[in-house]
Amino acid sequence: MNASKPLLVLDRVFSGYGQMTILNGTTARIRRGAITAVIGPNGAGKSTMFKTIFGLLPARSGAVAFDGLDITNRSPRQVLDAGIAYIPQGRNMFPELSVRHNLELGGIALSDQAGVTGRLDALMQRFPMLKEKANTQASTLSGGQQKILEVARGLLLDPKLLLIDEPSIGLSPLMVQEVFAILKGLRDKGVTILLIEQNAKQALQMSDYGLVLEQGQTRIEDTAPNILADPRIAQLFLGGGLAAQEHAS
């Protein structure tokens, strides 16, 4: 494996819904073992990009390559098998089931069902809160705890790349920091993370790289510190973008 080669490459990808085109030739080179934040105004195509990568939306043209494999328009199951896990925006769990049962359901897609129990036990050790609440109904968890459960369920598949859409949405500032710390810990263990965050400043501060989308096109692709310092960013966000966020803080 060549660590210098990007793990995920989008090459002039067009995608959308019905007659509406959202991605207009999006390009990206996502580096291995790093956190990359995808930021941009509402409607820029961030979630559409993730759905196209994961096979939930067809690419009308262009190509998506993952770890040297062409995954353009592969089914979500095939993308999952290739090593990509996807955590969509919002709550994605079975609220009436226990924490442990939610995790077990995350492993249904694994061909090696005999290894699910071992992986599940390892996750319980990594996330003591889940072990403590293993038999608790998932709906009783706090918003932050539910997000940790979703991340852990994605990790049960042992992905090379984790796509996570708006991990901080609806969480208290304290829980946001805890979830971000978990993501950075996963990065340190070799998991590549691609995340969408509406709070551009906060996302870039915890990321290694950034990708700025506007109108379905990649405007800036650089290190997170460079993007934070780039005066063009303020012009790409409604209300002044990072400049306004900085002033408000």
Structure-block tokens of residue 135? 């038999």
Mean residue pLDDT across the chain: 87
Q: Name the percent of the chain lying above pLDDT 70.
A: 89
Q: Which carries the bigger pLDDT value, residue 95 or residue 114? A: 95
Say what the pTM is: 0.87
d(CA 236, CA 214): 7
Instruction: Give tens-digit pLDDT for 8-46.
Output: 999 999 999 999 999 999 999 999 999 999 999 888 999
pLDDT range class, residue 112, cuts 50, 70, 90: low
Per the CB < 8 A criterion, the answer to whether 153 and 102 are in contact is yes
Mean per-residue pLDDT, 45-71: 97
Per the CB < 8 A criterion, the answer to whether 10 and 64 are in contact is yes
Per the CB < 8 A criterion, the answer to whether 178 and 198 are in contact is no
Between 130-134, 192-196, 234-238, the lowest mean confidence (pLDDT) is in 234-238
Q: What pLDDT was estimated at residue 34?
A: 97
d(CA 169, CA 113): 33
Instruction: Give tens-digit pLDDT for 200-245.
Output: 888 899 999 999 999 999 999 999 999 988 887 766 653 444 444 4
